[in-house]
Amino acid sequence: MSSPRDWWRSDVIYQIYPRSFADNDGDGMGDLPGITARLTDLRDLGVDAVWLSPFYKSPQHDAGYDVADYRSVDPRFGDLGDADKMLAEAKQLGLKVIVDLVPNHTSSEHVWFQEALAAAPGSPERERYIFRDGRGADGSEPPNSWTSVFGGPAWERLDDGQWYLHLFDVSQPDLNWGNPEVREEFLSILRFWLDKGVDGFRVDVAHGLIKEATLADWEYAGEILGGLTPEGAPPPPMWDQDGVHEIYRQWRELLNSYEPARILVAEAWVQPADRLARYVRPDEMHQAFNFEYLVTLWGADAIRKVVDRTSSANAAVGAPTTWVLSNHDVVRHASRLGFSDGKDHRNGIGVDDPQPDAALGLRRARAASLQMLGLPGSAYLYQGEELGLPEHTTLPDDFREDPTWERSGHTEPGRDGCRVPIPWEADSPSFGFGPADASWLPQPAAWAEYALDRQRDVPGSTYELYRSTLRLRKEHDLGNGTLSWLDTPADVLAFRNGDILVLTNFGDAPAELPLGSRVLLSSEPLTEDGKVPQDVTVWARA
C-alpha cells in the first residue's frame, strides 16, 4: 500500500464540476453545500479524493476559469464558510480535496486587470499582463498572429491603442509570469488554500504560463486542446516553454513544507510523452494528466503503444502515470467511443453532426474504464462516468454557454454537452440534481435511466461495475502495481498487474482467457462457453 506521503501515486480522484454536480438552493446551478451533502455518495463509490473545478468569484464567461478573486467563493456557489464546511466533511469521510488553480490568466474583472485598464501604457499595472503596441503604421494590426484557443484573434485592442494577449476568451487576459509580483501573488494564493487544508491543486494550462520572449508569429490554429501541435509545425511559442519549470519547482518547495503530502497535477496538453514527463520530475509536479491516452482511438495496438510510451517516459523520471478518459473539456468517453469512423470526436458534438452509437459507446466505455482502472498509477474519473452518462449530443444551440461556440462563429459546438447537470434520482425534479426543476443546461429526458437510484444495488449497472472495480483495485493495490503484457492475438490486449489479469477484446472473435482463470469482474457477460466477447474487459485471477 502507498504511504500517506505518496498517496498521489495510486489514488483514484473524482472530478466534481461544481456547476453540475448538486444544487442545494434550487437555482439550477450546483453549489458547495450541494457538494458537501453528496460527499458520502462519493465515499460509497470508493474514490480516494475529489478535484473541484473552480468555484471562485468569477463572471463565469468561461464557467469559472475566469477568476476575479482567487481567495473568495462565487456567490453562485456559496461562500468561504461553505468551502470550509466542504473541506471538513471531506476530511471526516477520508476524502482528499484538490482545488483548481488558474494561473495563466485572470478574469478581466480581477482588480489587477481593472487597474491595468485605468493605468497608462508602460505602467507597473500593465506589467502584470501582456500588453504590447500593435503592428503597422498606426499600430492597428495585432502584435502577432496568434489566435485564441476558443477561436478568433488572441489580442484585444484598448482605446489608448495598446493590445493585450488572451490565449482564451477576451475576458481572460494572460498574466505576465516574467513579473516577480505575479509569482509572489500566486505563492500567496497557494498558501491561502493550503492553510485551509486542501490536499493539492490542479494547475490549469500548466504549459502556458511562459511565452517565447519575442512573441514570434505562429501561423497555426490555437486548438482548444492546445499543445497537440499539428504534425510538421514548429514548436508553439505559447506552450511548453522551458521557463515554466522554474515556477513549479518553486511551488513544489512550498508544498513540501506541508504535511501530509500536498500535490500538484498538471493540465498540460504537451507531446511527446518525454516532454510531458518533465512536468513530473522529482522536484516539480506530482501528476500530469495523460491526455495522449485520452485521445487514443479504440484499438488494441494503439492503446498498448500509448500505455507503453507514456508509462516509460514517466518511469524515466520516477513518476507514476495519471490516467484519464473524460473531463469537462472533452466529449464524454461513453459517446466518443460510440464512433467507429476512425475520427477524433473529442471536441463537442452538435445536433447536426454525425451521432454516436450510444449502445456501442457505453459498451466500450465500460470496457475502457475497467482497463484504465487495472493499470498501475493514479486515475481521474469525471462526474457521471460512473453512471455511464453519455454526452448531451443534441443540446439546442440556444443553450450553449461555452465561449468556443460564439468565438468559432458557431462552427465548434464546444463543451457544454459534457457539462450537463448529472442525474441522481430518476423520479425527482431535475433528476435530483437540486430541489427544483431547474438546471442551467437542460437534461435529456432519457437521463432518468442513468440516475444513481436506478443503478445502486442493481447487478450489472455501470455504477455497480465502477464500485466493484474500485474496491478490487484497492484490495489488490493495483495503483502501485507493475504492468506486464501477455502474448495475445492482435485484437486482444492483456496485461498482468500483480495477481490480476486484465484482458480486453477489441476484435469480433470471442477471446479465450488463460486456462484456469477465475473471472472477478467483467464489463459485460461472457459468452456461454466462457469467452470474452468483443469490446469487453475482464479482470481475472489466473
Under DSSP, the state recorded for 18 is G
Closer to ligand NOJ by CB, 74 or 524: give it. 74
- Kindly tell me which residue out of 65, 112, 466, 539 binds ligand NOJ, with binding defined by CB under 6 A: 65
Closer to ligand NOJ by CB, 255 or 324: give it. 324
Catalytic residue among 31, 204, 402, 535: 204
Q: Is 17 in the site for ligand NOJ (CB under 6 A)?
A: no
- Kindly tell me which residue out of 89, 174, 199, 329 binds ligand NOJ, with binding defined by CB under 6 A: 329
Binding mask 267-286 for ligand NOJ (x = CB under 6 A): x-------------------
202 closest CA partner among 385, 384, 380, 18: 380
- Kindly tell me which residue out of 86, 205, 313, 367 binds ligand NOJ, with binding defined by CB under 6 A: 205
Establish whether 25 is a catalytic residue: no
Catalytic residue among 11, 62, 267, 292: 267
Beta-strand runs (E) in 49-137 = 49-52, 56-57, 69-73, 96-101, 131-132
Q: Is 62 in the site for ligand NOJ (CB under 6 A)?
A: yes
Q: Are the C-beta atoms of 310 and 187 separated by less than 8 Å? A: no
- Distant-in-sequence, close-in-space partners of 395: CB < 8 Å, separation ≥ 6: 350, 351, 413, 416, 417, 420, 441, 442
Q: How far is CA 533 from CA 55, 337, 388, 525, in A?
A: 43, 17, 19, 8
Q: Considering only CA atoms, give the Rg of the chain.
A: 23
Q: Is 266 in the site for ligand NOJ (CB under 6 A)?
A: no
Q: Is 102 in the site for ligand NOJ (CB under 6 A)?
A: yes
- Taking the complex as a whole, how short is the minimal distance between the CB of residue 406 and ligand NOJ, in angstroms? 14
Q: Which residue is nearest to ligand NOJ (CB)?
A: 65
- Taking the complex as a whole, how short is the minimal distance between the CB of residue 47 and ligand NOJ, in angstroms? 20
d(CA 54, CA 225): 19
- Interface with ligand NOJ: number of residues (CB under 6 A): 9
- Taking the complex as a whole, how short is the minimal distance between the CB of residue 204 and ligand NOJ, in angstroms? 5
- Distant-in-sequence, close-in-space partners of 350: CB < 8 Å, separation ≥ 6: 393, 395, 397, 413
- Taking the complex as a whole, how short is the minimal distance between the CB of residue 315 and ligand NOJ, in angstroms? 27
Is residue 69 helix, strand or coil? Answer: strand
Closer to ligand NOJ by CB, 34 or 403: give it. 403
Q: Are the C-beta atoms of 446 and 383 separated by less than 8 Å? A: no
d(CA 257, CA 253): 7
Under DSSP, the state recorded for 267 is -
Establish whether 475 is a catalytic residue: no
Q: Is 405 in the site for ligand NOJ (CB under 6 A)?
A: no
What is the contact surface with ligand NOJ in residues (CB under 6 A)? 62, 65, 102, 168, 204-205, 267, 328-329
Active site residues: 204, 267
